[in-house]
Structure 1
């Protein structure tokens, strides 16, 4: 899929320590068939004066996923948790009255999040979105 200037996207980092994370960005320009300049919406330069811009490979970019509303999450549901300015892929492993416990395989951590910092994890493959949630879990 080719993106154009102004498209809202997410960038999937493949760098060590950031694997399993997605960051909101906007396409600034296409450099060639496989590279884009993006400007992150939540990440800033070291001096914190400007939004961070970066050259990324086309394989690291996907459109912003559509919102999927759910009644609740169930154990082992694959989710994205918003933390450290990005979305991190994990699995639901438990729940207390007001938080879900999410396990992150990439860092071998379990952290708790309120529902408003979670979303259904979706994969972008062959120009289509897919989710592993069972249909009766959606609103």
Structure 2
């Protein structure tokens, strides 16, 4: 398997409002076709601020992808943007005059930002 205990990876959200979103996590242990993960950015309010954790399917995991700093994004390019402690799939709908910022459309929530 390509993952080692303690390795930083990403897990894909499968719940409404988070489907397709990628969360930074740390791999802890494999159990058959599932893995025990701990979220890097989210804490469980019911457990004295311990990081949230859960079992997920191996198919929901991916290595951390490299950052691509492309200065030539154009309308309708699909990008992943790190917002609210996770990676969201978004579509560029308007480059802004400063040439490093864009108006994007969140595909999951149908919001513009």
Q: TM-score range by the shorter chain?
A: 0.7 to 0.9
Q: Report the TM-score, using the length of structure 1 for normalisation.
A: 0.72
The residue aligned with 2:43 is 44
Q: How does 1:7-86 map to 2 (within 5 A)?
A: 7-32=7-32, 34-47=33-46, 49-86=49-86
Q: CA deviation at 1:20?
A: 2.5
Counterparts of 1:84 and 1:23, CA distance in 2? 10
Q: CA separation in 2, counterparts of 1:42 and 1:91? A: 24
- What does 1:116-135 correspond to in 2, within 5 Å? none
Structure 1 unmatched ranges of 5 or more: 112-139
In the alignment, which residue of structure 2 is the partner of 1:125? none
- TM-score, structure 2 as length reference: 0.87
CA distance in 2, matches of 1:68, 1:104: 19
Deviation at 1:2, TM superposition (A): 4.1
Structure 1: distance between partners of 2:66 and 2:80: 13
2:94 is matched with 94
SS at match of 2:18: coil
CA offsets 1:47-89 (integer angstroms, 9 cap, x no match): 4611111111011110101222312321111111222211100
Give the superposed CA RMSD: 1.6
Partners of 1:109 and 1:6 in 2: how far apart? 35
Between 1:20-29 and 1:90-99, the stretch displaced more is: 90-99
Counterpart of 1:103 in structure 2 is: 105
